[in-house]
């Protein structure tokens, strides 16, 4: 892909001219550090579980179904398809760089990735399984028992181990070396003039007040519709569903803008298909600002520089079920 | 996985003792030669298309959904889940080594992989798209247009190119170096005594009459239920649906036994979960032979030696949709 060729060229250039460049240390957006894998066996186990459809009632839906690592860690649908083709209530957020968020889910109801990972497995609208059935299933498969024992030192598989391993895998799903990060790291040639103008406007007009830090978002909860209300048929309450505080109604975790070109459609209801429209709506509703066509194009051009190096995932080979393994029940 | 460690060890041994071994040249089963990739760009494009959910109406189902390369190229369901959670009419056959079959689908209605690949995209029970919509979709995505041009020398994307690329990728999905193939190639230590006994029984009792050649099947159509009838609620007619000849009723392409440990459940209706039961039924219905428990276990042990080296697939990164790209419609 052209974008990646450009990235690699830019890496080469930034290395080549390292002495002549100056990192942008005072910018409100920070580069993503590469993932450090400390427990390779755990990450490999977590990868298997992430791709494991047998953690669903149907044997058809895995984490990767809605957080597709071929597609920016998202399903590119307004709301997801769950067990028995049920329509999910909210847009599936990207799993990429999710370890950099202050909490998980749009309303932040899970404190961390491990807490998140247990949710969809047991959600009747999503994978529609139970933790007990998931543990029973994994325990019936000798290769899994062996692998859990290698990682956790015990033959007893627990849901805490399952979600811990999935979280460990997800922590590796960061996307460093976007062209914007190369620019932050001092490669002046990594961005075009239009892209730099877009970034300046992104800062000057206030977008950066919420979309900042290493994940360009994910660090706070903010109201959807500050200056003008956002109209949607989506029933999500936002943060109020967690705090019970009415003032938190329609407060959502600010989504990351990392890889935003790949994670359409946008907003918690997935109602908006294009970055052009998303930037226009955000400008008006959150900032009271009507971007001109040229300004909009500049910001969109900047946003596309946030696409980082996608994790290189070798598809795991899942161990076959044993004779005793309980079979999936997709149609009843 | 333990099986792979054993395989690699066996490879090392077979290389180490090459001078002392004799290949089994007169066996009715032949080893799988490794895939030869002649057009890497085409295979890469085909891989993207194989993993491309946008070739379905819902934007959710790809070739890999039902021919999951993490799971022996199958979905391990009796019959597959299609668009809107429709229940498919027949068990999804493995895509692994499918280039070695005489034709595609259980009834052989597609002469080759390219002809097969167009089917599920346009089948209203499966991906529920149309070839026209698929071409329109791909043509709207600049990175795809560029990639097709690199491979086919034209900016005009056609369904023949799409299916040709998918077939080229599928041709790489062979699984050489099973323990059985190492044994065929002369490594006497690759199989246990029980496994060799199982193979001898597999030959002596007549299984090998249909399950032979490089794909241990896939080379002929045979009646399901020769000695005793097979009872099933599945409505598939078999080969008769293609030939219109009544005598072909319930004739199906003999499935490959390569990787059969991974491609459960068994038979065209996916009614049987375990190899033990499948071997018992096949013995009685096809050969009029009641295998003892010990004999059954020997044959099952042999069948598990047919699990080959699974293709190492680096997950493709799919190019994002453009603003103009038509969006999927999963819920209407």
- Nearest CB to B313; choose among A71, A146, A315: A315
Tell me the pLDDT of chain A averaged across its residues. 94
Mind listing the pLDDT tens digit for each residue in A153-182? 999 999 999 999 999 999 999 999 999 999
Query: What is the spatial distance between Cα B294 and Cα B266, in angstroms, rounded to a whole number?
Result: 21
Q: Which two tokens stand for residue B240?
A: 């008769």
Among residues B225, B257, B75, B48, the alpha carbon closest in space to that of A320 is found at: B75
Nearest residue, CB atoms, A84 vs list B85, B273, B310: B85
For residues A24 and A185, give the distance between their C-alpha atoms in angstroms, rounded to a whole number.
Answer: 6
CA distance B137 to B29: 44
C-beta atoms surrounding A227 within 10 Å: 11
Q: What are phi and psi of B213, to 5 degrees?
A: 75, -170
pLDDT for the residue B25: 76
pLDDT of B56 over the 60 cut: yes
Percent of chain A beyond pLDDT 90? 92
Residue from B27, B44, B115, B126 carrying the catalytic annotation: B126
- Could you give the CA distance from residue A225 to residue A301 in angstroms, rounded to a whole number? 24
Neighbours of A92 (CB within 10 A): 24
Averaged pLDDT of chain B: 94
Cα B140 from Cα B332, distance rounded (Å): 22
Instruction: For residue B170, indicate whether it is catalytic.
Output: no
DSSP per position, B46-106: HHHHHT-GGGSTTS---HHHHS-TTTTTS--SSS-B-GGGPBPSS-----TTGGGSSSBST
Interval B265-296: pLDDT, tens: 999 999 999 999 999 999 999 999 999 999 99
**Rounded distance between C-alpha atoms, residue B217 and residue B5, angstroms:** 27
Strands (E), chain B: 221-223, 251-253
Range of lowest pLDDT (A19-33, A64-78, B40-54, B96-110): A19-33
Whether residue A11 has pLDDT greater than 60: no
Contact between chains at B265 and A310 (C-beta distance less than 8 A): no
Q: Choosing among B320, B326, B329, which should be mutated to test the A contact, i.e. which has the most A CBs within 10 A?
A: B320
Task: Grade residue A2 by pLDDT with cuts at 50, 70 and 90.
Answer: very low
As a whole number of angstroms, the distance between CA A193 and CA A302 comes to 10
Confidence class of residue B227 from pLDDT cuts 50, 70 and 90? very high
Tell me which of A198-212, A286-300, B24-38 is least confident.
Answer: B24-38
Name beta bridge partners: A81: A87
Q: Judge: A313–B312 Cβ closer than 8 Å, yes or no.
A: no
Structure confidence at residue B155 as a pLDDT band (50, 70, 90): very high
Which residues on B lie below 8 Å from A143 (Cβ)?
1-2
Q: How far apart are CA A197 and CA A201, in angstroms?
A: 6
At residue A25 the predicted structure's pLDDT band, cuts being 50, 70 and 90, is confident
Residue A60 predicted with pLDDT over 80: yes
CA-angle at A109, arms to A102 and A88, nearest 5°: 115
Supply the pTM of this predicted model.
0.93
Structure tokens at A220: 């706070």
- Separation of alpha carbons B36 and B43, rounded Å: 11
What pLDDT is recorded for position B23? Answer: 76
Residue B30: name the closest of B296, B188, B208 by CA. Answer: B208
Q: Is B66 annotated as a binding residue?
A: yes
Enzyme catalytic residues of A? 126
Q: What percent of chain A has pLDDT over 70?
A: 94
A110, β-bridge pairs: A104
User: Number of Cβ pairs closer than 8 Å across A and B?
Assistant: 103
Contact B315 A274 (CB under 8 A): no
Q: How confident is the model at residue B12 (pLDDT cuts 50, 70, 90)?
A: very low
Mutate to test the interface with B, among A70, A273, A314 (most CBs of B within 10 A): A70
Burial class (CB in 10 A: 0-12, 13-18, 19+), A153: exposed
Q: Of the candidates A1, A85, A316, which has its C-beta nearest B70's C-beta?
A: A316
Residue of B nearest to A82 (CA): B85
Whether ipTM exceeds 0.85: yes
Percent of chain B with pLDDT over 70: 94
Mean pLDDT of B26-41: 96
Which pLDDT value is given to residue A23?
76
Instruction: Give A81's contacts in chain B (Cβ within 8 Å).
Output: 58, 60, 330
Cα A146 from Cα A150, distance rounded (Å):
6
**3-state SS assignment for residue A102:** coil
Q: How far apart are alpha carbons B130 and B116 in whole angstroms?
A: 15
Structure tokens that stand for A273 in this block: 């298909």
3-state secondary structure of B45: helix
pLDDT bin (cut points 50, 70, 90) of residue A322 is very high
> Which DSSP string corresponds to B228-250?
SPPP-S----TTHHHH--GGGTT
pLDDT of residue B21: 56
Write out the residues of chain B at the interface with chain A, using a CB-CB cutoff of 8 A. Answer: 1-2, 51, 53, 58-60, 65, 68-72, 75-77, 81, 84-85, 87, 143, 146, 261-262, 264-265, 273-274, 276, 310, 312-321, 323, 327-328, 330-331
Distances (CA, A) of A17 to A20, B35, B61, B284: 5, 42, 45, 74
Test A315 with B314 for CB contact under 8 angstroms: yes
CA atoms within 13 A on the CB side of A263: 30
Binning pLDDT at 50, 70 and 90, where does residue A71 land?
very high
């Amino acid at each position: 892909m052209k974008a990646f060729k450009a990235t690699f060229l830019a890496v080469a250039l930034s290395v080549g001219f390292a002495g002549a460049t100056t990192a942008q240390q005072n910018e409100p957006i920070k580069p993503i550090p590469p993932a450090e894998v400390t427990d390779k066996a755990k990450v490999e186990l977590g990868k298997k579980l992430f791709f494991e459809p047998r953690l669903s009632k149907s044997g058809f839906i895995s984490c990767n179904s809605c957080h597709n690592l071929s597609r920016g860690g998202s399903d590119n649908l307004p709301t997801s398809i769950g067990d028995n083709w049920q329509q999910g209530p909210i847009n599936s957020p990207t799993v990429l760089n999710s370890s950099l968020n202050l909490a998980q889910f749009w309303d932040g109801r899970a404190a961390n990735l491990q807490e998140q990972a247990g949710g969809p497995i047991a959600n009747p609208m999503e994978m529609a399984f139970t933790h007990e059935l998931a543990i029973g299933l994994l325990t019936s498969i000798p290769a899994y028992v062996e692998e859990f024992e290698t990682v956790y030192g015990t033959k007893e598989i627990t849901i805490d181990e399952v979600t811990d391993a999935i979280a460990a895998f997800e922590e590796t799903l960061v996307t460093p070396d976007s062209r914007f990060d190369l620019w932050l790291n001092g490669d002046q040639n990594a961005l075009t003039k239009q892209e730099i103008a877009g970034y300046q406007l992104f800062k000057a007009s206030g977008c950066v007040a919420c979309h900042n830090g290493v994940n360009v978002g994910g660090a706070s909860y903010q109201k959807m519709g500050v200056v003008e209300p956002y109209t949607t048929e989506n029933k999500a309450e936002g943060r109020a569903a967690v705090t019970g505080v009415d003032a938190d109604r329609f407060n959502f975790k600010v989504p990351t803008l990392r890889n935003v070109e790949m994670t359409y459609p946008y907003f918690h209801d997935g109602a908006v298909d294009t970055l052009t429209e998303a930037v226009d709506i955000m400008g008006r509703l959150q900032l009271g600002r009507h971007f001109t066509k040229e300004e909009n194009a500049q910001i969109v051009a900047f946003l596309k520089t946030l696409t980082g190096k996608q994790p290189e995932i070798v598809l795991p080979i899942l161990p076959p079920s044993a004779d005793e393994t309980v079979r999936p029940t997709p149609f009843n």
